[in-house]
Structure 1
Amino acid sequence: MQQTKRIAIIAHNNKKNDVLEWAKFNRFFLAQHELYATGTTGKLLEQEIGIPVHKLQSGPLGGDQQIGAKISMQEIDILIFFWDPLEPQPHDPDVKALLRIAVVWNIPIACNRASADFLITSPLMRVEYQPYLPDYQEYLNHNYDQQTTKVRQEQPVSLDTA
């Protein structure tokens, strides 16, 4: 992870004001990094703090999944996700998948203002940092072996003995 971090910022509708206030307060810090955000949050961030933001789709239209894909490709270093625990979301499976993929790839996650403050004030934010990247090769090999065995067992046996 380079000194300049690639930070994804997402906020559910009821948390947009919170994330904007947080971003305004931390504008100087955020200006030193590369920002990514889902649709509306990205537009609001650019307007509010005047810093360029890579804007992806709105969360319900696939933006959460786009951020997740970037995480799995090691193109996002940090996830700031102000999610609303009191309001059901129509794209809740996408939200859970995003949080799961962030944990799978061992990237720091902040889900509210306090955790975001602690995360960005860490001394590790100001230096190059090599996070532990899980090695999933054994998992992939084991999964491949299991699936190969299963496919072979399920293939019909030829009745043609001629």
Structure 2
Amino acid sequence: MRMGLAANQLHHSHDDGALFRWLRACEAGIRELKLGLHAVGRTHDAIVRANMLVGYAPLRRYPYGREGGLMKLVAEVVGLDETERTLDGAIYLIDPVDPSSVFPEAVALKRQCVIHAKPFISTVASARDWVEMERIHAGLAPDPGADDLYATQTRTLALIAHDAMKPQMLAYAAEHFDLLSRFARRVATGTTGQRLNELAWSRGWPEGQQWVDRYQSGPMGGDAQIADLVLERRCQRAIFFEDPHVARQHEADIQLLERAVTTRTDETVCMTSPRVAARWAEAARVRSEK
């Protein structure tokens, strides 16, 4: 398995940067998985300076961002002829106030991950969660250091889907209803929330009792309301099925939610692909049985 790796300057410019917090938490798991990390120049150099992943052959250096390093990752997420130049996803630890986080190559990296149903990981919590998910799928014993990520009974889950993705969200919720019901609270934007409640009532959830707490629709500010929950540390996981093929009138609100998630990088997990969300659900089920 190969993942692109990049981090904005804030996240590797000091000893306790987000990149290093993730590596300290997950280096053992990275080595267990023999995870290939294709790291953009400054990110790679920071890892070497910090004496992390010492002697780890699957860590590869790419050019600096200004020399096209991030652009190469985008192409490799799409896939190139050479097998070794096809990535399974990308870890891009984003500083939401760094201008480079909205450069075309940064936006394209996420978009192509979503289009090709590959993980796009933008927070420390998401990166920790992904490594543990892959460890479980590899048959490894659960890492106690990741227990906080799976403490659903104390966490709030946001379920958001663009119009074209609402059927996939309903199918996902139906398939994993028992797991999602373990969360202390679920929230959703307008129409998605109503349809999820109707699904829950059809599954025996008490009539009149909401399975998800509904906020405004996305265009009317629901994304901003959920962003506020994230900023207040009252929402720790978001499953956000995005449609990358259409222009959205409330694009600024969507970006606001994404920025809130990356602001709370250590606390918030975000998944944007039905395939990745399903893989996480299966790992959560298996982990709970061990």
Asked if these proteins are the same fold (TM beyond 0.5), I'd say yes
Measured after TM superposition, the shift of residue 104 of structure 1 is 1.4
Partner residue of 1:16? 166
1:82 has 2:241 as partner: yes
Pair 56,102 (structure 1): closer, same or farther in 2 beyond 3 Å: same
Pair 126,70 (structure 1): closer, same or farther in 2 beyond 3 Å: farther
Distance 2:162 2:194 in 1: 14
Distance 1:116 1:30 in 2: 11
Distance 2:159 2:170 in 1: 10
- What's the TM-score once normalised by structure 2's chain length? 0.41
Partner residue of 1:40? 191
Pair 123,29 (structure 1): closer, same or farther in 2 beyond 3 Å: closer
Partner residue of 1:108? 269
Partner residue of 2:3? none
Equivalent residues in 2 for 1:34-73, closer than 5 Å: 34-50=185-201, 51=205, 52-73=211-232
Distance 1:23 1:3 in 2: 15
Structure 1 runs not aligned, ≥5 long: 128-162
8 Å CA contact 1:3–1:126 kept in 2: the answer is no
Matched positions, count:
127
Distance 2:181 2:285 in 1: 17
- What's the TM-score once normalised by structure 1's chain length? 0.72
Deviates more, 1:118-127 or 1:12-21: 118-127
Bigger Rg, structure 1 or 2: 1
Measured after TM superposition, the shift of residue 124 of structure 1 is 10
8 Å CA contact 2:261–2:270 kept in 1: the answer is yes
Give RMSD over aligned pairs: 2.0
Higher relative contact order (CA 8 A, sep 6+): 1
Distance 1:57 1:77 in 2: 19
- Among the aligned pairs, what percent are the same residue? 28
Distance 1:28 1:58 in 2: 25
Matched position secondary structure for 1:88: coil
Matched position secondary structure for 1:57: coil
Distance 1:53 1:86 in 2: 27
Structure 2 runs not aligned, ≥5 long: 1-147, 206-210
Distance 1:22 1:14 in 2: 14
Distance 1:125 1:101 in 2: 30
Distance 1:15 1:24 in 2: 14
8 Å CA contact 1:11–1:82 kept in 2: the answer is yes
